């Protein structure tokens, strides 16, 4: 006779890596969140972080392109220009963008305080010779988002929107 083995499939004990996690693109920051982060960085006197955040918002560049900026890209004559053109690493296409007055002021203040010179990376990381890594930038961004009371893992749309009195 034929032995009938159990036809019930074995239950896998492995848990999917994304079980319970929010996957996919995070929703963009709302204007009130941008102003909250900007105000917090100004109040705390974090010049580098404010310049980095403002450049990222104004340019809408990817993180790898923002951290790879050099002083000459934004401030060729020692003072920040009104407009800039950057060639993206991923697509190779040039991106033109305008810098707002507050961003230009933040960059100028940072350049003076840090003593940055022509040819240097604008945003340096722990290793002075190179630029900030995209991982360091991602950590900073997560900290800024957490500082205003949002969950950095969930994104702004899924977080509590009460921001202690800041308005857009």
DSSP string, 77-137: TSS--SEEEEE-TTT--EEEEE--HHHHHHHHHHHHHHT--TTSBSSB-SSTTSBPPHHHH
pLDDT mean over 68-85: 91
Q: Which pLDDT value is given to residue 152?
A: 78
Per-residue pLDDT, 151: 80
pLDDT for the residue numbered 159: 41
Lowest mean pLDDT among 41-50, 96-105, 125-134, 148-157: 148-157
Phi (first) and psi of residue 121, to 5 degrees: -70, 140
The Cα–Cα gap between 15 and 37 comes to: 36
Is the distance from CB of 59 to CB of 104 less than 8 angstroms? no
pLDDT at 60 over 90: yes
Q: What is the mean pLDDT of residues 112-118?
A: 90
pTM beyond 0.75, yes or no: yes
Quick one: pLDDT band at residue 128, thresholds 50, 70, 90? low
Give the CA dihedral 25, 31, 34, 36, nearest 10 degrees: -130
Q: Output the average pLDDT for the chain.
A: 84
What's the confidence (pLDDT) of residue 131?
85
Q: What is the pLDDT of residue 168?
A: 35
Q: What is the pLDDT of residue 28?
A: 84
Q: How sure is the predictor about 21, in pLDDT bands with cuts at 50, 70 and 90?
A: confident
Q: What average pLDDT score do residues 23-34 get?
A: 85
User: What is the average pLDDT across 55-75?
Assistant: 93
Q: Which two tokens stand for residue 127?
A: 């290793």
Tell me what the mean pLDDT of segment 48-73 comes to: 94
Please report the pLDDT score of residue 161 as a whole number: 36
Contact 19, 150 (CB under 8 A): no
Contacts of 108 by beta carbon, 8 Å cutoff, 6+ apart: 75, 79, 80
The whole-number average pLDDT for the span 135-146 is 92
């Amino acid at each position: 006779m034929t032995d009938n083995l159990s036809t019930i499939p074995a239950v896998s004990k492995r848990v999917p890596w994304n079980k319970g996690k929010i996957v996919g693109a995070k929703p963009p920051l709302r204007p009130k969140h941008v102003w909250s982060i900007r105000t917090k960085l100004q109040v705390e006197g974090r010049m580098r972080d404010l310049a980095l955040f403002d450049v990222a918002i104004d340019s809408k560049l990817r993180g790898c392109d923002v951290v790879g900026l050099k002083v000459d890209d934004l401030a060729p004559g020692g003072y920040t220009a009104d407009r800039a053109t950057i060639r993206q690493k991923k697509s190779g296409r040039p991106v033109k963008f305008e810098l707002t007055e507050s961003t230009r002021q933040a960059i100028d203040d940072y350049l003076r305080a840090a003593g940055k010179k022509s040819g240097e990376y604008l945003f340096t990381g722990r290793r002075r010779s190179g630029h900030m890594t995209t991982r360091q930038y991602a950590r900073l961004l997560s900290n800024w988002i957490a500082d205003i009371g949002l969950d950095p893992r969930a994104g702004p749309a899924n977080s509590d929107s009460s921001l202690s009195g800041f308005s857009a």
